[in-house]
Structure 1
Amino acid sequence: MSGRVTQQEGLAAMALRLRAAGVVNNDLLRAVEQTPRGLFCPAPYQEDVYSRRLIPLDCGSFMEGCDFAVRLIHCLNVKPGQRVLEVGTGSGFTAAVIGRIAERVLTIDRYQTLVGTAQKNLEKAGVRNVVARHADGSVGAPGEGTFDRILITAAFDSLPRMYSDHLVSGGTLLVPVMMSETRCRIVRVTRTGSRFDREDLFEAPYLPIVPQLASFL
């Protein structure tokens, strides 16, 4: 069986799992189908492209299991015409899927190595409306204005106010928050005017965010 057939079957199986779990957003599932995850996955792990397992990347980073990554985007509820910020670029896959739906995506990471690889992956996938930038995500995104949606994939000890301030009214922030030294949970914050509503969602595999740009990577 060829790798191509294997990945096609993996994609179909993942779509069935997601629908069974209540992820029935056809625009999102179409965006996932249009974004070959194998282009973003390191060569040794091509057989796991559409699995639930974490896939190692450079710099100690990782790709989330595919089901989990799509579930995050589903909870973010991205709409056409929106401007989205992602903190934690990784392979670029999540930003690419979001870019199939949103108008523009800015994704930032403290590791230049990951940013460079993600840029190449995005080019291979033909995604043109995602900008990958080397930046320190622990301090917000100064000078970048406001966003309709913000997705953070590194954990904070508490809700990061600087990112809440980047939201437009009606905007949504999805952020991992450390509940203890070993437990992390995804929290969704929705802004309505000056009010911020919090909703705790589900456990997540993320590690605490590391401040400052990486020195050599």
Structure 2
Amino acid sequence: MRSALLEREGFAALVLRLRAEGVTNLDLLTAVEQTPRSTFVPPEYAASAYSSRSIPIECGQFMEGADLAVKLLGQLQVKPGHRVLEVGTGSGFITAVLARLAERVISLERYKTLIAGAQRRLETLALRNVILRQADGTNGLPGEGTFDRIFATAAYPSMPRFYAEQLVSGGMLLVPLMIDETRCIMVRLTKTGSRFEREDLFEVPFLPLQPKIAQQL
């Protein structure tokens, strides 16, 4: 009972902060509410599940603070019927929220341990429209058709133009780009015909992409 109360209080505080920043999409906020974030954080960080701080997870990775995670999902503008590719499963929290918004989600993660943990959590929530794959997502997912939305959480050193072939016309890519050795910015690219319209959004704390590595950790 106490944990359920903390979950509700944490979500309510998150919604107030998000509304102050202009995030009011009801479908998105409902999907977040239906995805108990404390399920995805290590037990020792349960009290910080809905905070804005980044939280360490296994394999030396981290999950975004709750505010940033929801803001990014808002920028992605996922609609019912969409097919979504996620590059970087991590804890599976964003994956789970995407699954509540889209028709189908394919999520790539190079760490076997993270894939296994995310799979358990998704099964607990009875989310069955997600495919998790242990894979190097450096080049996205060529050969699997096109996606309405692509969302990457590992920073690329330069514009990953190959994603143009993996997006439908009118599709959208959200990807971090390195702007110097330690900083990266989130960029939204919308495909119009064979061209991208680029919008630079805000700085994000993502780690640089490590290509050609699919680890067994």
Question: TM-score interval w.r.t. the shorter chain?
Answer: over 0.9
Q: Which residue number corresponds to residue 46 of structure 1? A: 46
Cα RMSD for the two superposed structures = 1.1
Shift of 1:163: 1.8
Q: Which residue number corresponds to residue 157 of structure 2? A: 157
SS in 1 for 2:208: coil
Q: Which residue number corresponds to residue 3 of structure 1? A: 3
Q: Which residue number corresponds to residue 108 of structure 2? A: 108
What TM-score do you get using the length of structure 1 for normalisation? 0.97
Shift of 1:204: 0.2
Amino acid at match of 2:156: F
Q: Which residue number corresponds to residue 182 of structure 1? A: 182
SS in 1 for 2:138: helix
- Structure 2: how far apart are the matches of 1:215 and 1:118? 16
Shift of 1:99: 0.7
- Structure 2: how far apart are the matches of 1:74 and 1:187? 13
Does the CA-based 8 Å contact 1:36-1:125 persist in structure 2?
Answer: no
Shift of 1:6: 1.7
Q: Which residue number corresponds to residue 23 of structure 2? A: 23
Q: Which ranges of structure 2 fall in alignment gaps of 5 or more residues?
A: none
Q: Which residue number corresponds to residue 199 of structure 1? A: 199
Aligned residues between the structures: 217
Matches within 5 A, 1:52-131: 52-131=52-131
SS in 2 for 1:139: coil
Shift of 1:195: 1.5
SS in 2 for 1:115: helix
- Structure 1: how far apart are the matches of 2:131 and 2:183? 31
Shift of 1:198: 0.6
Q: Percent identity?
A: 60
Shift of 1:162: 1.8
Shift of 1:4: 2.4
- Structure 1: how far apart are the matches of 2:4 and 2:81? 33
Q: Which ranges of structure 1 fall in alignment gaps of 5 or more residues?
A: none
Shift of 1:214: 3.4
What TM-score do you get using the length of structure 2 for normalisation? 0.97
SS in 2 for 1:52: coil
Q: Does 1:137 align with 2:150?
A: no
Amino acid at match of 1:8: R
Does the CA-based 8 Å contact 2:164-2:194 persist in structure 1?
Answer: no
Does the CA-based 8 Å contact 1:39-1:125 persist in structure 2?
Answer: no
SS in 1 for 2:22: coil
